[in-house]
Amino acid sequence: RVLSLELNKDRDVERIHGSGINTLDIEPVEGRYMLSGGSDGVIVLYDLENLSRKPSYTCKALFTVGRSHPDVHKFSVETVQWYPHDTGMFTSSSFDKTLKIWDTNTLQPADIFHFEGTVYSHHMSPIATKHCLIAVGTKSPKVQLCDLKSGSSSHILQGHRQEVLAVSWSPRHEYILATGSADGKVKLWDVRRASGCLSTLDQHNGEKSKASSEAANTAHNGRVNGLCYTNDGLHLLTIGTDDRMRLWNSSTGENTLVNYGKVCNESRKGLKFAISCGCNPEFAFVPYGSTIAVYTIFTGELITMLRGHYSTVNCCVFQHHVQELYSGSKDCNILAWIPAPREPVPDDVSEKSLPQHLNPAYEDAWSSSDDEG
């Protein structure tokens, strides 16, 4: 299904945003409701389900936190995320230096966290049961941890030298956090340890001879502005302004050296890319100018470029229940990419008349006992 993704003519997403769309998130429980956040501070909640049951339909906006809303973000919304366990709550963070926790039913903030600098990115663990920490990347080199239970943001992780552009919790270990910074480094943390980070990823895998001491222990030769774990948590994909994407073994910290070629990345802030779930092989969907590049994660092969936006694509999100993709762009549009329907085989064609040239890999190697006699 992923290999046949195309811009769907029969599905529109209602156009509400009057400025660029920076972030999208689909709730993990049903995969039915999607949030979007825009450069003008507006947040929209969409219902992706086809309630009309007609072949052509528009995904309607259920609610909008618009410019006239008393609690609207003053500046660009950079990240929206659903609470991982139910749709009663969602979170948003913005260049207005706040992270807001929203009650979905009342569309009122249940809590607001304030920071000293611009907020680039935040993330809640998809699996945590023992903590309610939200990791926040801001203009400060310190990674902030906000506790939903206590409402405090006292905990900080120190180690980066410049602003933190991307944060992502491991989907495998609830206390493990990955952070990417403008200093070119990606750090892995166990948030229970006060003593500093677990490891700093090194693109040269410790071969100091190849790297000057200055470049040692950097993940990228540029700002690291995107991070995404594979769904099993065994690998971490990072992207930097050096136009490179790298795949790391998340337990050993080793650079797997998969070559994705040049991955054009001119974003000055966080880049929101997505990884498929439940596919074999798994794919990465990466905003690439006004297109979305689709790569196979473990071979680095560029499978296709999805074209349809008129301007820079800022974010994409994968709906893994049905293997569909949604993307948001500076052109104010959200596009739905749906697998092309397969051509059905007409009933009157018997099996015998179909081409018999099978790839040898799929041929049946068994012989029936009748042939042997």
> What pLDDT shows up at residue 208?
67
pLDDT digits (tens, 9 = 90+) for 107-152: 999 999 999 999 999 999 999 999 999 999 999 999 999 999 888 8
More confident residue, 340 or 238: 238
Positive or negative, the Cα torsion across 149, 151, 154, 159? positive
Rounded to 5 degrees, what are φ and ψ at 52? Answer: -75, -20
What size, in residues, is the chain?
Answer: 373
Degrees to nearest 5, angle at CA 233 with 293 and 127: 115
The CB density around residue 18, as the number of other CB atoms within 10 Å, is: 12
E strand or H helix that includes residue 369: helix 369-372
User: In the chain, helix, strand, coil percent, each to 5?
Assistant: 5, 40, 55
Q: Is 362 helix (H, G, I), strand (E, B) or coil?
A: helix
Rounded to 5 degrees, what are φ and ψ at 210? Answer: -80, -25
Whether pLDDT at 363 is above 70 = no
> What pLDDT shows up at residue 348?
59
Rounded Cα gap, residues 341 and 335, in angstroms: 18
Average pLDDT across the chain, whole number: 90
Tokens of 61: 């906006």
Q: With contact defined as beta carbons under 8 Å apart, do 133 and 175 qualify?
A: no
Rounded Cα gap, residues 194 and 6, in angstroms: 47
> What pLDDT shows up at residue 280?
86
Half-sphere exposure at residue 252, Cβ-oriented, CA atoms within 13 angstroms: 9
**Peptide linkage before 281 cis (omega within 30 of 0):** yes
Beta bridge partners of 21: 38
Long-range contacts made by residues 63-70, C-beta under 8 angstroms, separation at least 24? 63/107, 64/16, 65/102, 65/107, 66/42, 67/40, 67/41, 67/42, 69/107
> What pLDDT shows up at residue 153?
79
Residue type, 335: L
Q: Are strands 57-65 and 11-13 parallel, antiparallel or unpaired?
A: parallel
Q: Is 210 helix (H, G, I), strand (E, B) or coil?
A: helix
pLDDT band at 362; cut points 50, 70, 90:
very low
Whether pLDDT at 243 is above 70 = yes
Looking up tokens 């200093």 gives: 183
Nearest to 262 by CA among 243, 283, 288: 243
Nearest to 142 by CA among 125, 124, 117: 117
Rounded Cα gap, residues 135 and 229, in angstroms: 15
| Highest mean pLDDT: which range of 53-57, 232-236, 337-341 | 232-236
How far is CA 259 from each of CA 147, 149, 209, 245, rounded to the nearest angstrom? 38, 42, 21, 8
> What pLDDT shows up at residue 264?
83
How far is CA 320 from each of CA 86, 208, 303, rounded to the nearest angstrom? 17, 41, 19
Longest dimension (CA), the chain: 85
Tokens of 6: 């195309």
More confident residue, 204 or 215: 204
Tokens of 211: 């790297």
Residue type, 171: P
Long-range contacts made by residues 61-65, C-beta under 8 angstroms, separation at least 24? 61/14, 61/16, 62/33, 63/107, 64/16, 65/102, 65/107
More confident residue, 239 or 347: 239
Q: Is 9 helix (H, G, I), strand (E, B) or coil?
A: coil
pLDDT digits (tens, 9 = 90+) for 313-349: 999 999 999 999 999 999 999 999 999 877 665 665 5
> What pLDDT shows up at residue 345?
59
Tell me the average pLDDT across 245-256.
Answer: 96
Dihedral (Cα; 29, 34, 39, 43), 10-degree rounding: -90
> What pLDDT shows up at residue 269?
86
More confident residue, 351 or 167: 167
CATH number of 2-339: 2.130.10.10
